[in-house]
Amino acid sequence: MSRLVGLIKGFPGHPSHPPLTDVSIGAYTVATAMFVLGALGIQRAPMAHGALLALSGGLIVALPTVVTGLIDWSGIQKGTPPRTLATWHLFVMFTATVVFAATWLLQRPGYNHGTIKTGAWIACIAGEGLLAIGGYLGGTVVFAYGQRVTDPRDRPVTVKDALTPKLGTDDYAPIDASKLRR
């Protein structure tokens, strides 16, 4: 069983979760753009069809994305700032996925008639906002804490400091390779 989990999780330096998130994020973002363009009257019927298809793709890929994310989350030490932040990331992204699923349900009748449903494009914009917040939190877990990149004990950071951009500093200097997990 642990070999299967390891395979699903990905390999050192090549985790499975990030590229899967890119697929869903891209699909949701395309759907949002198409909903807005269609609501503005630009190619209404094609946008109604394309938005629902893009949204469908994002929702299909959400399942393996969630599975790989939960596996990564379970590997973060409990009671640590990275685990706290990853837990917030999990809740925000779960909420975003629920909003996108609701968007799909709201838009489904519009697919048949080539129309953009008002509730659908509004819900999709809300989902996109949640997606941006959740992505920021997930990126912080990786880039500030080095989860699945380096040994997080080499980079002790408070949640507040991790979420605050450090413009004009050398915080993004190359990582000392001698401190990487082997």
Q: Which segments in the chain show pLDDT lower than 50?
A: 150, 152, 167-177, 180-182
Structure confidence at residue 3 (pLDDT): 75
The domain total for the chain is 1
35 phi/psi in degrees, rounded to 5:
-60, -45
**Domain boundaries, position 151:** 2-179
Give the residue carrying structure tokens 């390891």. 6
Tens of pLDDT along 6-51? 778 776 557 889 889 999 999 999 999 999 999 999 999 999 999 9
CA–CA dist 128, 95 (Å, integer)? 11
- Please report the pLDDT score of residue 180 as a whole number: 43
Predicted local distance difference test score (pLDDT) of residue 111: 92
pLDDT of the residue at 168:
45
Amino acid at 168: G
CB 95 within 8 A of CB 61: no
Q: What are phi and psi of 37, to 5 degrees?
A: -60, -45
Per-residue model confidence (pLDDT) at position 7: 76
Q: For position 138, what pLDDT does the model report?
A: 94
Tokens in use for 10? Answer: 């990905």
Collect all residues with Cβ–Cβ distance below 8 Å to 21 and sequence separation of at least 6: 65, 69, 135, 138
Stated pTM of the model: 0.80
For residue 29, CA distances in Å to 2, 53, 124, 173 come to 35, 12, 9, 31
For residue 4, give the amino acid letter.
L
Q: Would you mind telling me the total number of residues written for the chain in this entry?
A: 182
**Amino acid 30: pLDDT:** 98
Q: Phi first, then psi: what are they for 14, rounded to 5°?
A: -140, 60
Cβ-Cβ contacts under 8 Å for 82 (sequence gap 6 or more): 76, 141, 145, 147, 152
| pLDDT for the residue numbered 109 | 94
